[in-house]
Structure 1
Amino acid sequence: MADLKDHVNDASITRLATAVARVHPAFPSADFVTAARRGLEPLALKQRVSAVSAQLATFLPQSFPHAAQVLREAVAATPLDMWSGWPATDYIAVHGLEHPDDALAALAALTPHATAEFAIRPYLARHPERTLAQLHQWAADPDQHLRRLASEGSRPRLPWASRVPTLADPQVTLPLLDRLHDDPEPYVRRSVANHLNDITKDHPDVALATARRWSASGGEGTAWVVRHALRSLIKQGHPEALGLLGFDHGVDVTVTDLSVTPDTLAIGGQVTIAFTLTADSDVRAAVDYVVHYAGARGARAPKVFKLTTATLEPGLPRQVTRRHTFQHVSIRQLYPGPHRVDIQVNGRVLAGADIVLRDGH
C-alpha cells in the first residue's frame, strides 16, 4: 500500500501546473514542475505539500490578490484533486494573511477540490471575527463542501492542524454546529459529530447539553450525529453520555467464560477474545474491550475498542467473539511484556485476562 506522501508526486505537480497555465499563460509550467519535484523524495507528506507550495509562491504573480484570482480561475477551468490542490490551499494559508477577503474567496473556490480545513486555521487565528463571519455564510451555502468547511475548519482539535486559541471556547463554534447538525449530507454531519466529539474532551458538560438539545428536536441524521459525537465519553464509561444513548451504567450484566487465546504471542500475532454475556432483565448493552498496552517504561493509558451493541434478554446468554491483532501502527509502538484485556459493558469493567507479548524478531 502506497504511503500517503507518495500521492504528492510528479503527476500531482504537473496537474497543478497545467491548471494554472491554462488560465495564466505567463506561468512557466516546466520550470515550476522541475523546481517543485527537486528534493521531494525524502520528505514527509506535509513537508512535500509545503515544498510544492513554496515553489508555487515563486512562480505565481507576486501580487497575492492577482495570484489568488489565478487560482480561482484555474480550479474553475480544470478540476484538481486533494493532492494537486493541497499545495494551492497551503500557499493561501501562508501568503494571503494580509489579504483575507481575497484569500477566503480563493479557499471557497478550492475546497470542493482539495479541502481547505488546514488553510483556514491561520485566518481564524489572525482574523477571527472576519473569518467566523465567513464560516457562518458558508454554513448556509448550497455547496456541501463549504458547509463542511465551516464545521471541519473550526474544530478545536482538528488532527494535523494548528491549534487556534479562539476555538478553545465552545460557544464560538456551537452556533455553526446548531445550524449543521441535521444537514442533509452525511459528509457534513460526520464533521459536526467529530467537532462535538472534540468538545467532549475539554468541555463534556457543554457537549452533553448540546447533544440533549439536539436529540429533543432532531431526526435520524441528528441521532447518528449524537451517537458518533459521544463515542469518546461512551468509551470512558461516562454515565450521563451512556444514559443519553439509552444505556444504563448501573444495570447488572455478567461476563462469564472469558478467554483470550493464546495467552502468549509474538508482536504481530493475533488473539481471540471470547466470552458470554447474561442479564436478569432486558438490557441494552454497549460492549467494548479495553487493551492495557505495555510501554517502554511501564503501562500506558488503556485503549478502548468498540465491540458491539446488544440487547440482552433474561435467560438468553449472548456469546461474543472478536479477534485482535497486536501489531505496530503509526500511532502505537508495541513492546514485549505483560498486557491485559478487559471487557467493559455500559462503561463498567466486568472481567479481564492477562497475556504476554514477545518480541516478534
Structure 2
Amino acid sequence: MAEALKDQMFQRPFFEALGKSIGKVYPSFSTKDFFSYLYNEDWEDKSLKERMYHASQSLHETLPDNYDEALDILSKVYQKFDGFDAMIFPDFVEQFGQDHYQLSIEALERFTQFSSAEFAIRPFILKHPEKTMDKMLSWSRHDNHHVRRLSSEGCRPRLPWAMALPLFKKDPGMIFPILDNLKSDPSLYVRKSVANNLNDITKDNPDLVIARLEKWQTDASKETQWITRHALRGMLKAGHPNALKLLGYGSAKVSVDNFKLKPRKIAMGDSLSFSFELRNDGKRPQNLMVDFIVHFVKSNGSTAPKVFKLNTLKLAPGETQLISKSHPFKVITTRKYYSGKHKLAVQVNGKVLGEQSFDLKV
C-alpha cells in the first residue's frame, strides 16, 4: 500500500531544518518550544492540511507577536525550502496576515515561487475581490512561471482541497482576463492550471467557456490548442455538442456493427473484453471521438455512468475500423463496486450507438 501523503510531508527533518534556519536570523527562537507546540497529542490524528495549519500556528506561538516582524523573519529563510513542505509559509500568511493586506500579498508573491500560495490567496479574494484580482491580473504577466500559475490556480472556482469561491461560480467574469493573458503560456505547469480553471468553470457556466475558447481559436497557437482540448475534457465526455464541434467533431453519420462483449459474467479481478466495427456511413471523411461508458451499479441498485476515452480517428466514406478494448475490474480507492447487472455502451461524438449488459460479482 502506498504511503499516505501526510506521512511523506511535514516530517521531523523538515521542521528541524526550519527551526535551525529561523534560529540563525532570529536567535530568540526556541526550537524546543516550537516542537512542544507542534507535536501535541493530536498530531498523529491530523490530516495533511490540518498538520500544515497546526505547524503555522506553532510558528505563530514561537515567533514575535507582531505580524510584520514574524513575516520579516520568514521572508529571510523561505528560499531554503521548496515543494509542499514550503506551503507552510503562505499558510502562515493566510492565517495571520489578512489584516495586513499589502504586506501579505507581497509575501505571497515571493513565497509562491518556492511552493504554491493557491490556498492562501483565496481568503484575500473573498475579502477584497476586485483589488486582489487586479493584482492577480498583473501576476499573469510575471516573469516567474510559479507566479503566473498562481494567478490562475488561485482563482479556480472549484480548486480541490480549498475553500470554494462562490462569486466565481456565479460569475467568472473577473477570471477570464487572467486566462486570456495565459492562453499561450510557454510553461506546461501554467497551461495545466489554465485548462483546469476553465474545466472548473464549465461545471457552472459551460456556455461562457465555449464562447471564450471560440474567441481564442483565431490564429490559435499550439499552446492554446492544448489548453482548449484539456479544458473541455469534462464536456467532451458528457457529449456536449458545442464542445465537440469546437474540436472538429460534428454530428457523426456512423454505424456500430458486430458489437461483442465477453464474458457476460465476471468477478472482481477479471477483465471485460469488447469489440465492434465502426463504419462511416457519410459521403465525406469524418473526425470521430470514440468513448465507452460503463454504467456501474450503485449501493441502492441504480446505475451511474462513467465515461472512458477510447480512440480518436478519421474515417473515409464507407471505411470500417475494428476497435477492441479490455477493461479490468480491480479494487481502486476511488470507486466502490457492487454486484449486479452493469452496462457498457459505445459513444461516438457524444452519441450512444450501442450498449450491452453484463453481470459483475463482487
> 2:82 maps to which residue?
80
Unaligned runs of 5+ in 1: none
2:187 pairs with one of 174, 181, 185: 185
Amino-acid identity (%) = 37
In the alignment, which residue of structure 2 is the partner of 1:69?
72
Q: 1:71 to 1:330 in 2, by over 3 A?
A: farther
Distance 1:316 1:110, change over 3 A: same
The aligned length equals 356
Residue 358 to residue 133, structure 1, CA distance change in 2 (3 Å):
same
1:331 aligns with 2:334: yes
Question: Structure 1, residues 39-84: CA drift from partner, whole Å, max 9, x if none?
Answer: 33232222222222221221222212222222222113x13321x2
Q: Where do 1:22-41 residues align within 5 Å?
A: 22-38=24-40, 39-41=42-44
The one-letter code of the counterpart of 1:350 is L
2:206 to 204, 207, 215: 204
Matched, 1:296 2:299: yes
Code of the residue aligned with 1:16 in structure 2: it is L
Are residues 90 and 260 of structure 1, via their aligned partners in 2, closer, same or farther at CA, if it must alter by over 3 Å? farther
Q: 1:339 to 1:123 in 2, by over 3 A?
A: same
- What do the CA deviations read for 1:201-253 (whole angstroms, capped 9, x no partner)? 211111111000001132111011111111111111111111110001x2211
Q: How far apart, CA to CA, are the structure 2 residues paired with 1:121 and 1:315?
A: 54
Q: Take 1:335 and 1:241, find their aligned partners in 2: how far apart are those partners?
A: 33
Asked if 2 retains the 8 angstrom alpha-carbon contact of 1:256 and 1:275, the reply is yes
Cα distance in 1 for partners of 2:83, 2:217 equals 36
The offset of 1:143, in angstroms, is: 0.4
1:1-361 alignment, distance < 5 Å:
1-8=2-9, 9-38=11-40, 39-76=42-79, 78-82=80-84, 84-168=85-169, 169-248=171-250, 250-280=251-281, 281-359=284-362
Q: Does structure 2 conserve the Cα–Cα contact (< 8 Å) formed by 1:13 and 1:36?
A: no
CA contact (8 A) 2:298 2:304 kept: no
Q: CA RMSD in A?
A: 1.9
Cα offset for 1:300?
4.2
- TM normalised by structure 1 equals 0.92
Distance in structure 2 (CA, Å) of the matches to 1:239 and 1:229: 15
Q: Deviations over 1:305-344 (max 9, x none)?
A: 1112111224442222333233444432222222111111
Are the aligned partners of 1:56 and 1:88 in contact in 2 as well (CA < 8 Å)? no
Residue ranges of structure 2 left out of the alignment (5+ in a row): none
Partners of 1:236 and 1:347 within 8 A in 2: yes
Compared with structure 1, are the counterparts of its residues 315 and 113 closer, same or farther at alpha carbon in structure 2 (3 Å cutoff)? same
Q: Is the 8 A contact 1:327 1:334 kept in 2?
A: no
SS of the residue 2:272 aligns to = strand
Distance across 2 between alignment mates of 1:319 and 1:40: 56
Cα distance in 1 for partners of 2:29, 2:261 equals 62
- What is the rounded CA distance, in whole Å, between the counterparts of 2:22 and 2:271 in structure 1? 50
* Cα pair 1:196 1:229 within 8 Å, conserved: yes
SS in 2 for 1:332: coil
Distance, in Å, in 1 between the alignment partners of 2:62 and 2:271 is: 52
Cα 1:113/1:252, change in 2 over 3 Å: same
* Cα deviations by residue, 1:134-158 (Å, 9 ceiling, x for unpaired): 2012111100000000001001111
- Secondary structure (helix, strand or coil) at the match of 1:302 reads strand
Residues 78 and 89 in structure 2, CA contact (< 8 A), matched pair in contact too:
no
Q: Secondary structure at the match of 1:73?
A: coil
CA separation of 1:320 and 1:68: change in aligned 2, threshold 3 A: farther
The SS at the match of 2:77 is helix
Amino acid at match of 2:305: P
Assess, with a 3 A threshold, how the Cα gap between structure 1 residues 167 and 19 changes in structure 2: closer, same or farther.
farther
C-alpha separation in 1, matches of 2:269 and 2:88: 36
Which residue identity lines up with residue 114 of structure 1 in the other structure? Answer: S
Q: Return the letter of the residue paired with 2:133.
A: L
CA distance in 2, matches of 1:223, 1:290: 26
Give the residue type in structure 1 aligned to 2:167.
T
Letter in 2 for 1:183: D
